[in-house]
């Protein structure tokens, strides 16, 4: 079997204003354990805001999404504008509020949200190429923006977020933290992760299944 190449989009560093670190590390670990070659990407833009993760309060400073994401990727990360769908077999987007604040503005505009243009262009390219995508935590909230009406996904069991997904045209399926929801027609796999998880091992139970399934789907023509 040829080594699979997976693009991972990060949204900063830290659950409240960037990529969820546990979700990202679990994803990267599982991909490595399964022999995949990974390249991380992030948009080279200013974060929406910076949150003090000790107090939960906003800090009077500005940070860059790509620079902050580089912390998790150990510096091995590229500007998402350089990403080419032809170089990869699959795409995965960890959650964290950065997915709803930096990769999109879902946290602020809800059903009227827009996805950051470079992120949307890359995700749409994977969708159009029929290549699998994995979304977790809050990131499935933008699934309908990528795929259009009828896309099947999960954010777990949060009623308000599920209602927003449905209003945007998605078909939301409730899901336990250790399970995945697959849109077979679109090769989209989603899992709740920290939308439901109470521990890192609970988050990993679903994320590992999602990563495994995404990699399986890369072998289907």
Catalytic residue positions, numbered: 137
User: Helix, strand, or coil here: 44?
Assistant: coil
| Cα separation, 79 vs 86, whole angstroms | 16
**Beta bridge partners of residue 152, listed in sequence order:** 171
Report the SS3 class of residue 6: strand
Q: Are 122 and 9 in contact (CB under 8 A)?
A: yes
- Cβ-Cβ contacts under 8 Å for 96 (sequence gap 6 or more): 11, 12, 14, 15, 16, 18, 19, 20, 21, 23, 24, 137, 138, 194
The C-alpha atoms of residue 148 and residue 169 are separated, in whole angstroms, by: 7
The span from the CA of 221 to the CA of 219, in Å, is 6
- Alpha carbon distances (Å) from 182 to 98, 113, 114, 209: 23, 23, 24, 11
Buried b or exposed e, range 81-110, using 16+ CB within 10 angstroms: eebebeebbbbbbbbbbbbbbbbbbbbeeb
Residue 53 phi, psi (nearest 5): -75, -10
């Amino acid at each position: 079997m040829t080594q699979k190449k997976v693009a991972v989009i990060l949204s900063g560093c830290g659950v409240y204003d960037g990529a969820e670190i546990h979700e990202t590390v679990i994803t990267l670990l599982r991909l490595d354990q399964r022999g995949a070659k990974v390249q991380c990407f992030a948009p080279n833009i200013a974060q929406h805001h910076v949150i003090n993760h000790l107090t939960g309060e906003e800090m009077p400073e500005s940070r860059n999404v790509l620079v902050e994401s580089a912390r998790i990727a150990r510096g091995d990360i590229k500007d998402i504008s350089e990403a080419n769908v032809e170089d990869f077999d699959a795409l995965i987007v960890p959650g964290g509020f950065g997915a709803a604040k930096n990769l999109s503005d879902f946290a602020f505009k809800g059903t009227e949200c827009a996805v950051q243009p470079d992120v949307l262009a890359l995700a749409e390219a994977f969708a159009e190429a029929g290549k699998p995508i994995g979304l977790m935590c809050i990131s499935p909230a933008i699934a309908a923006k990528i795929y259009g009406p009828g896309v099947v996904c999960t954010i777990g069991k949060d009623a308000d977020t599920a209602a927003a997904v449905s209003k945007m045209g998605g078909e939301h399926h409730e899901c336990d933290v250790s399970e995945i929801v697959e849109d077979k027609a679109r090769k989209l796999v989603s899992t709740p992760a920290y939308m439901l998880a109470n521990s890192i091992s609970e988050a990993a139970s679903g994320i590992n299944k999602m990563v495994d399934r995404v990699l399986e789907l890369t072998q289907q023509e």
